[in-house]
């Protein structure tokens, strides 16, 4: 989290960061406007606009330091603030069935994704990234896991591909899954559990749930927030892998340079969940935290987009696409199967 203290390094550092931070802020504002007026995922708009503004990230230009800072430190702040969305009371209110469904679905999807990724010739960590994004909370999970995973030359390209893929699949699910639950004749509660347990992004879960009924929307939102809570243990897993690789010398080298077992932003996430669960946090503060988290994540993905060459994404091939589609289909099928047994 040391990079997040860069504003305290003095006026000179602040002046160096300001152009890039301003650029990311402008892209975030534009993406938010487009998302609110056209109904598409805001993070996807931010990514596409960031890719179009790639020239700003030229290392010789004035915006590069601020863009890098947004892509790393602002990202971590946004993930930490996600903790204000969740309380332990919400988890308890769901009962054991939906909780067990979420835990098993997330763990199984990620484990299978890592295995299939290796079978397709990728690193297992790519499966952890895509599987975590699919099973937990879409683009937000992809960004959080990317922040905790080891450095790799292809890491940013993999992150961008995952954000694009999970956003597109989540938008498709928002339209298709309500029709599916109607065809299956699910009750409002069952429909909410299915939608909240399978659609990737929070906004799409809300849109799909409340398009059916208020009861379905409420249940879907709670189940989705439970999936968001699964972000913490998965980040711990990613951090443990990073630490092990650093200890072995594949990344950082010396054991003394190993990253902490739990990243600072993950600790902040857990603390905010605990504080939010006390009921002492005013609704206005919760709303502010949620808005701040959203803005941070949108600015961060804009920065990541600016740092990436579009031609690099065009070379990903069919296998990663098939992997993410397969993860999405598997998660939906697994959720329906578990619901027959437990709910």
Whole-number pLDDT of residue 67? 92
Tokens 């347990």, located at residue:
197
Half-sphere exposure of 68 (CA within 13 A, CB side): 12
DSSP character string of 78-138: HHHHGGGG--HHHHHHH-HHHHHHHHHHHHHHHHHHHHHHHHTTS-HHHHHHHHHIIIIIH
Distance CA 311, CA 116 (A): 26
Task: Place 257 in a pLDDT band, splitting at 50, 70 and 90.
Answer: very low
Distance CA 199, CA 138 (A): 8
Distance CA 70, CA 64 (A): 10
Distance CA 232, CA 248 (A): 24
Whole-number pLDDT of residue 8? 47
In terms of Cα–Cα distance, which of 198, 196, 261 is closest to 232? 261
Position 253 pLDDT exceeds 60? no
Could you read off the pLDDT of 288-322 as tens digits, one per residue?
A: 998 998 899 889 888 888 886 666 556 667 888 89
Distance CA 117, CA 198 (A): 20
Distance CA 80, CA 144 (A): 9
């Amino acid at each position: 989290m040391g990079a997040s203290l860069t504003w305290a390094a003095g006026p000179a550092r602040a002046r160096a960061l300001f152009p890039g931070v301003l650029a990311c802020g402008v892209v975030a504002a534009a993406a938010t406007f487009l998302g609110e007026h056209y109904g598409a995922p805001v993070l996807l708009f931010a990514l596409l606009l960031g890719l179009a503004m790639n020239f700003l990230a030229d290392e010789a230009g004035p915006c590069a330091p601020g863009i890098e800072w947004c892509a790393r430190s602002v990202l971590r702040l946004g993930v930490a603030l996600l903790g204000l969305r969740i309380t332990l009371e919400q988890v308890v209110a769901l009962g054991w069935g939906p909780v067990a469904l979420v835990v098993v679905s997330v763990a199984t999807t990620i484990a299978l994704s890592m295995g299939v990724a290796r079978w397709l010739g990728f690193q297992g960590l790519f499966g952890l990234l895509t599987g975590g994004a699919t099973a937990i909370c879409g683009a937000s999970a992809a960004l959080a896991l990317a922040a905790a995973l080891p450095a790799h030359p292809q890491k940013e390209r993999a992150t961008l591909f995952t954000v694009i893929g999970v956003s597109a699949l989540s938008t498709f699910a928002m339209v298709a899954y309500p029709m599916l639950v109607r065809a299956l004749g699910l009750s409002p509660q069952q429909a909410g559990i299915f939608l909240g347990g399978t659609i990737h992004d929070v906004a799409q879960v809300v849109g799909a749930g409340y398009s059916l009924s208020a009861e379905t929307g409420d249940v879907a939102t709670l189940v989705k927030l439970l999936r968001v809570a699964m972000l913490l243990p998965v980040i711990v897993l990613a951090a443990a892998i990073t630490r092990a690789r650093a200890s072995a010398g594949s990344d950082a080298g010396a054991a003394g340079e190993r990253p902490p077992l739990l990243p600072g932003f993950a600790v902040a996430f857990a603390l905010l969940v605990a504080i939010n669960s006390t009921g002492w946090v005013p609704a206005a503060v919760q709303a502010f935290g949620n808005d701040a988290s959203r803005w941070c994540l949108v600015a961060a993905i804009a920065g990541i987009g600016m740092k990436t060459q579009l031609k690099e994404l065009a070379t990903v091939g069919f296998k990663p696409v098939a992997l993410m589609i397969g993860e999405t289909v598997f998660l939906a099928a697994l959720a329906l199967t578990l619901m027959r047994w437990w709910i």
